[in-house]
């Protein structure tokens, strides 16, 4: 049932959404407005960043074990304004501008109770089959996953708190701190955000590699102290404290590992092949700590502070903007020269 008097008739109401109906096929449809549970808020979506996972679902219909087997609304990087609240939520929240953490853990399993809710086996994550995402006019989310943002933070930057959270979670797992020397492979959106985040965490040197000259130039503008073309210059032997891969490319992973000092850290972020050959002897003999990252836990408060304080620039990453009816174009623009981050506005 609707959770507040402001939602009377919401179950029958309709909203526009861009729905993935098949690979390479997105349709604008009128779908039901989500009903609110007692602990949820209804958010009118302001801006949605396009993620590589959205593109992957659009092009291939799956990512690993997650298969699109029915209509799916994409988009999980979002901001908006609270329009209604559930019975258990303070009505004073109506009207707040918010950045959304787009996931719903069960809060009861062993992983959740241990503080690792990103690993919850019952996780419901936006735009991950069968859970719909935010290429829509309205979404519902638990109130404590809708974070109030200050006026100084734009709707676009608020939406990009999600990839920034990946950067924060990665730098925490990489143990980046004051004076750290960090190597990042890949100068796409995540790589550029990682470079900025590492600097915000106190890294004194952030080396970014990419085979594309334009993206190397962008990395130099957004946090990198040095950029490298891996096709012409090797990074092996740099003895960095941490290597972070944002490419998923086997060659980048291998060469990056060979750049890590003894007892350093390797963090795998990029989506790539399911199986990669690794220099196991090198890892073992140097006692290098290797891990992946899977989303994030408890990162939004720091993300908001980093953006509001000017330590991380997310607005400068946006290179293309689209209305909801143009969402299909937003999914295709990322591969064009000079493009970094596309944003969809469901209200347009």
pLDDT at 217: 94
pLDDT at 12: 61
Sequence spans of domains, the chain: 5-160+314-345, 165-292
pTM of the model: 0.94
Give the least confident one: 1-10, 27-36, 129-138: 1-10
Confidence tier at 143 by pLDDT (50, 70, 90): very high
Q: What SS3 state is found at 187? A: coil
pLDDT at 272: 82
Residue 10: is its pLDDT beyond 50? no
pLDDT at 271: 84
Residues in contact with 177: Cβ distance below 8 Å, sequence separation at least 6, in sequence order: 201, 202, 203
The CATH number for 165-292, chosen from 3.40.1280.10, 3.30.70.1230, 3.40.50.300, 3.40.50.720, is: 3.40.50.720
Q: How far is CA 249 from CA 100, 201, 210, 211, 230, in A?
A: 30, 26, 11, 12, 12
What is the average per-residue pLDDT within 196-210?
98
In whole angstroms, give the CA distance from residue 166 to residue 172. Answer: 10
User: Three-state SS across 12-73?
Assistant: HCEEEEEEEEECCEEEEEEEECCCCCCCEEEEEEEEEECCHHHHHHHHHCEECCEECCCCEE
Torsion of CA 186, 134, 127, 111, to 10 degrees: 90
Residue 261 CA, chain-centre distance (Å), reads: 28
pLDDT at 337: 79
pLDDT at 2: 34
Superfamily name with CATH number, domain 5-160+314-345: Medium-chain alcohol dehydrogenases, catalytic domain (3.90.180.10)
Percent of the chain with pLDDT over 90: 91
Instruction: Give the total residue count for the chain.
Output: 348
pLDDT in tens, 214-259: 999 999 999 999 999 999 999 999 999 999 999 999 999 999 999 9
pLDDT at 336: 80
């Amino acid at each position: 049932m609707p959770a507040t008097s402001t939602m009377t008739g919401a179950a029958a109401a309709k909203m526009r959404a861009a729905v993935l109906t098949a690979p390479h096929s997105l349709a604008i449809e009128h779908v039901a407005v989500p009903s609110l549970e007692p602990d949820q808020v209804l958010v009118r979506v302001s801006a949605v960043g396009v993620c590589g996972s959205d593109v992957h679902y659009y092009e291939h219909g799956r990512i690993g074990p997650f298969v699109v087997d029915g209509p799916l609304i994409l988009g999980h990087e979002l901001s908006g304004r609270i329009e209604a609240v559930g019975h258990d939520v303070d009505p004073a929240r109506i009207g707040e501008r918010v950045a959304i953490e787009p996931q719903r853990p069960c809060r009861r399993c062993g992983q959740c109770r241990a503080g690792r809710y990103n690993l919850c086996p019952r996780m419901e994550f936006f735009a991950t089959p069968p859970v719909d995402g935010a290429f829509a006019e309205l979404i519902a989310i638990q109130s404590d996953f809708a974070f109030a943002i200050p006026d100084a933070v734009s709707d676009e930057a608020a939406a990009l708190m999600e990839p920034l959270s990946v950067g924060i979670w990665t730098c925490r797992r990489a143990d980046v701190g004051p004076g750290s020397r960090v190597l990042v492979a890949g100068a796409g959106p995540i790589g550029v955000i990682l470079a900025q985040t590492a600097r915000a965490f106190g890294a004194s040197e952030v080396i970014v590699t990419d085979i594309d000259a334009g993206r190397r130039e962008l990395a130099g503008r957004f946090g990198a102290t040095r950029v490298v073309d891996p096709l012409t210059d090797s990074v092996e032997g740099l003895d960095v404290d941490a290597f972070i891969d944002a490419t998923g490319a086997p060659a980048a992973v291998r060469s990056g590992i060979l750049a890590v000092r003894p007892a350093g850290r390797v963090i795998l972020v990029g989506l790539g092949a399911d199986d990669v050959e690794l220099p196991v002897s090198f890892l073992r003999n140097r006692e290098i700590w290797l891990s992946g990252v899977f989303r994030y836990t408890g990162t939004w408060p720091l993300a908001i502070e980093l953006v509001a304080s000017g330590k991380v620039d997310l607005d400068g990453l946006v290179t293309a903007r689209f209305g909801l009816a143009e969402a299909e174009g937003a999914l295709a623009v990322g591969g064009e020269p000079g493009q970094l981050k596309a944003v969809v506005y469901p209200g347009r």
